[in-house]
Structure 1
Amino acid sequence: MKENKGSGNSRRDFLKSSSLAMAGFYIVPRHVLGGPGYIAPSDKLRVASVGVGGMGGGDVRGIFASGKVDMIALCDVDDTRAKGSREAHPKAAYYKDYRVMLEKEEKNIDAISVSTPDHMHAVIAMAAMKMGKHVYVQKPLSHDIYEARMLTEAAEKYKVVTQMGNQGSSGDGVRKMVEWYNAGLIGEATKVYSWTNRPVWPQGIPWPSTPVTPPADLDWDLWLGTAPFKDYVGNLVPFNWRGWWDYGTGALGDMACHIMEPPFRVLGLGYPKSAECSVGSVYTGEFTRGYFPESCPPSSHITLRFDRPGKEDLEFHWMDGGIQPTRPEELEPNEQMGDGGNGVIIEGTKGKMMCSTYGKDPKLLPTSRTKEVSVPMTEYRVPGGDGGHYKNWVEACIGGYGSEEYKHLSSPFSVAGPLTESVLMGNLAIRSYDYRVPRAGSDNQFDYPGRGIKLMWDGPNMKITNFDPANQFVKREYRGEYSL
């Protein structure tokens, strides 16, 4: 099977083609002509997975269920969490450190999946891409804006097949919305509202003051990875890390790649031009908002604006922590907005449309219009819809970079990268909102210069142009020897 490094053929492919030539055949096999990354259809994709418990276990099952995959290696810092995947694939080699796995299995694998906490996505994916391996990375693509940009550029540089784990991008719903919009059913979009009931884990709280002993099966130092060293605390693993900036990306990182993706695809959005926010308060016993800069806030409202040449700016709202937009007048009193806890509304000059999480259940407003209109099917449908998201990537890996299967990828980094950057722009706004400086002449009072302003974003150069302290949140420093 071919190792995806440049355009050279592997020894195995060379032997196959040489055997045919010796037998008197002069037709060049298709897999030799396929270009970088092409794997013969008769072969299976050889996959290694990093982070194989919880959501990672679901990713292992989904990838393997394509029927075209051999699981070669599994990697997890937590032996207990990895147990299910290891039992399902007893022949797969098992590692705790992804760096050791990549070193030892480089010649045995074609691709990897990455399903770790957010702060480790980029370094693992980048290490694999530099080896010429295809990558599947859970959402959000990265922890930082800078990482998202670097991964996007690396996918093109190394000519590898990439996919982010926002399965709704493979669903039929978002494609139907694209067709409705292109047919002019709601006119020109002017505003977008997106919302979620997340977080469903603690946020807006102080870091626990009492360290505890890590579980025996967890390698805490490897789990921390790129993050600053801290003693282990209770109730952090396996889920509540999402609410801490060192590891997670809050409600935005957890759900926005699912919920913001439909309007991004429908409207063809790129980088925002500005961001502003407000955040929810936490009662601390003194009727003041607690200042807990290590923790994501309990709720937030982000407003992004997108420049569209020749058109008015698009206003894009994100709300979490249970905050929702005003119900559209076109909805009947007992009709549900979104799916109740999450949703999207796109307002246009001629009408509105709405969907639930993952772009499911798209509706024109009023909802009676949905059954009254019919537009041509112009968008490619992924076999199996959102359930075909894993196979969509596997087929593209087998086809190779630039193949027909590659052209049908739902969320390659060329798409997922800019989406993730916009998602993380909301977090940059939140962290700038919490940036504080000592007030002159006071020992215990502070000013918050990032509040009440609009952050202006230079997308190509990844820089806030009007509030320099915000730029510290574009790119973080890694611990120890970790690097991109």
Structure 2
Amino acid sequence: MMEEKKDSAAINSRRNFIKTAGLAAAGFMIVPRHVLGGRGFLAPSDRLMVAGIGVGGKGESNLAKIYNGGKSEIAFLCDVDDRRAANSVKAFPKAKYYRDYREMLDKEQKSIDAVVVSTPDHNHAMIAMAAMQLGKHVYVEKPLTHDIYEARKLREAAERYKVVTQMGNQGSSGEGVRQLQEWLDDGQIGKVHTVYCWTNRPTWPQGLLWPSTPGVVPAELDWDLWLGSAPYKPYIEKLVPFNWRGWWDYGTGAIGDMGAHLVEPSVKVLGLDTPLDVQCSVGTLYLDEFKRGYFPDSCPPSSHVIMTFEKTKKTKGNLKMHWMDGGIKPERPEELLPNESFGDNGVLFEGTKGKMMCGVYGANPKLLPLTRNNEVRTKKKLPRVPGDVDGHYTQWAEAAIAGYGKIQLSSPFDVAGPLTETLLIANLAIRGTDVPRTKADGKVIYPGRDIKLLWDKQNMRVTNFDEVNQYVKREYRKDWSLGI
């Protein structure tokens, strides 16, 4: 593994290179890619040279859509699991393949313009930060980060290094969110006071104890590199490629997976900041009829989180947002007829004059009752992203080619960062339900199950239950660093 000193040396070397190359370029009309690429500029005729990190599953589809947009060349691939990478390697046979992203960035930095990060949640931030410090544009799969601290630091870094950023919540580029905003701006449902977001996720195991029997690491998987920033644990069966989502060391649970697609429409439409406070209840599993299961390593099987947001021009006072997962749903709105679908995943806005709802990505927006959709005609006032949801990828590539600040994006880090913080603040309440406290008489209690957590945004901490602040910023494993 590279030491942090070596990472710092690479960054300084890159900065010195850019400074020298920039001075040399002053006398030339045509400037090579490797001179300008690291500073966020490309020759106008160039295609974006992209490196994918985590190229199986969602990474595979991300790269395919970025490539199919016609603006990008997939030049480098990196994955710790050769099995997962196989389809991307076949799709892009000219791309050079690496297992360790640090080696790739160190050796190929002059040839890379942008990086797509599609790894498990726990490694998003340090990879994205390393790329940005080299002046690379970054596209990071949702959720942006695993921790609140990381989200704040990535947002600051995007501005500091002047790179083009986008989080992979493609619904933010969709028609649906814009339609919802136009209805709201047109006064169709009045001022919003309550929002419900619900999902049938998780579709992976949660509410578990870490297995005591280790598995056999597949020959194609580098388990140490997969762990990355997370604490070392022996490999277990079926964790890879998807079930990691249910373990706190790696994933962020159902709201981390789906919140960027379901919470995002209301945050954008209503102009919400991060929550003022959060409370929750969680589904329980029982070890026996008297004792509740205690599973601090794993997300609960279901949860209901209530967040309070400060009043905006589009809300009636402070707004209450309900997040429900594990198949829990709010009461069907009375305007919805008995056989009209409510959906396994959705968002419901309740206003002073009416209601509206949508599905994942803000798709299929509807006014309630549904008959109103045949009657209401609201003018389109907001610009659309060409290609709708799939245009999210092309938008980022075109913005990277144009250079920092030239093209408006749907989910740059100054937008995605606070949204991610919101999702992870909800997770503080969820995780807090399994934080024990021992009283003077030796009795163990769980105070986080019965209180409302008060959030101090400026200082990134809960002010009335200090035990959960350990999850705001986790400790990375030795030899791994956020690089700041």
- TM-score, normalising length from structure 2? 0.92
Match of 1:88 in 2: 91
Residues 294-309 of structure 1 mapped to structure 2, 5 A cutoff: 294-308=297-311
User: Do structure 1's residue 126 and structure 2's residue 126 form an aligned pair?
Assistant: no
Counterpart of 2:69 (choices 44, 61, 66) is 66
Q: Check whether the contact 1:36–1:401 (CA below 8 A) recurs between aligned residues.
A: no
User: Do structure 1's residue 322 and structure 2's residue 332 form an aligned pair?
Assistant: no
Mind listing any 5+ residue stretches in structure 2 that lack a counterpart? Answer: 1-13
The CA deviation string for residues 54-93 of structure 1, in whole angstroms up to 9 with x for no partner, is: 1111111111111111112110000111111111112211
Q: Matched residues in 2 for 1:306 and 1:432: separation? A: 20
User: Do structure 1's residue 467 and structure 2's residue 465 form an aligned pair?
Assistant: yes
The alignment covers a number of residue pairs equal to 465
Shift of 1:283: 2.8
Shift of 1:36: 5.5
- For the residue of structure 2 that corresponds to 1:302, the secondary structure is strand
- For the residue of structure 2 that corresponds to 1:149, the secondary structure is helix
Match of 1:165 in 2: 168
- For the residue of structure 1 that corresponds to 2:317, the secondary structure is coil
User: Do structure 1's residue 263 and structure 2's residue 273 form an aligned pair?
Assistant: no
Counterpart of 2:54 (choices 27, 43, 51) is 51
The CA deviation string for residues 235-269 of structure 1, in whole angstroms up to 9 with x for no partner, is: 10001000000000010111011111111110011
What amino acid is the match of 1:426?
A: A
User: Do structure 1's residue 425 and structure 2's residue 425 form an aligned pair?
Assistant: yes
Shift of 1:6: 11
What amino acid is the match of 1:79?
A: D
Mind listing any 5+ residue stretches in structure 1 that lack a counterpart? Answer: 21-27
- For the residue of structure 2 that corresponds to 1:335, the secondary structure is coil
Q: Matched residues in 2 for 1:470 and 1:221: separation? A: 28
Shift of 1:15: 6.2
Match of 1:77 in 2: 80
Q: Matched residues in 1 for 2:157 and 2:283: separation? A: 37
User: Do structure 1's residue 110 and structure 2's residue 110 form an aligned pair?
Assistant: no
Residues 334-345 of structure 1 mapped to structure 2, 5 A cutoff: 334-337=339-342, 340-345=343-348
Q: Matched residues in 2 for 1:387 and 1:324: separation? A: 29
Q: Matched residues in 2 for 1:6 and 1:308: separation? A: 47
Match of 1:454 in 2: 452
Counterpart of 1:333 (choices 331, 338, 363) is 338
Q: Check whether the contact 1:66–1:391 (CA below 8 A) recurs between aligned residues.
A: yes
Q: Matched residues in 1 for 2:131 and 2:349: separation? A: 38
Residues 54-453 of structure 1 mapped to structure 2, 5 A cutoff: 54-308=57-311, 312-337=317-342, 340-403=343-406, 405=407, 407=408, 409-442=409-442, 445-453=443-451
The CA deviation string for residues 252-306 of structure 1, in whole angstroms up to 9 with x for no partner, is: 1110111111111100111110000000011323353210100000000000001
Q: Check whether the contact 2:348–2:358 (CA below 8 A) recurs between aligned residues.
A: yes
What amino acid is the match of 2:28?
A: S
Match of 1:483 in 2: 481
Q: Check whether the contact 2:177–2:265 (CA below 8 A) recurs between aligned residues.
A: yes
Q: CA RMSD in A?
A: 2.4
The CA deviation string for residues 84-130 of structure 1, in whole angstroms up to 9 with x for no partner, is: 11111122111111111110111111100000000000000000001
- For the residue of structure 2 that corresponds to 1:312, the secondary structure is strand
- For the residue of structure 1 that corresponds to 2:449, the secondary structure is coil
What amino acid is the match of 2:102?
A: R
What amino acid is the match of 1:468?
A: D
Q: Matched residues in 1 for 2:279 and 2:391: separation? A: 36
Shift of 1:371: 2.2
What amino acid is the match of 1:134?
A: H
Q: Matched residues in 2 for 1:411 and 1:359: separation? A: 14
Q: Matched residues in 2 for 1:140 and 1:49: separation? A: 17
Shift of 1:219: 0.4
User: Do structure 1's residue 18 and structure 2's residue 16 form an aligned pair?
Assistant: no
- TM-score, normalising length from structure 1? 0.92
- For the residue of structure 1 that corresponds to 2:193, the secondary structure is strand
Q: Matched residues in 1 for 2:187 and 2:24: separation? A: 52
Q: Check whether the contact 1:34–1:400 (CA below 8 A) recurs between aligned residues.
A: no
Match of 1:25 in 2: none
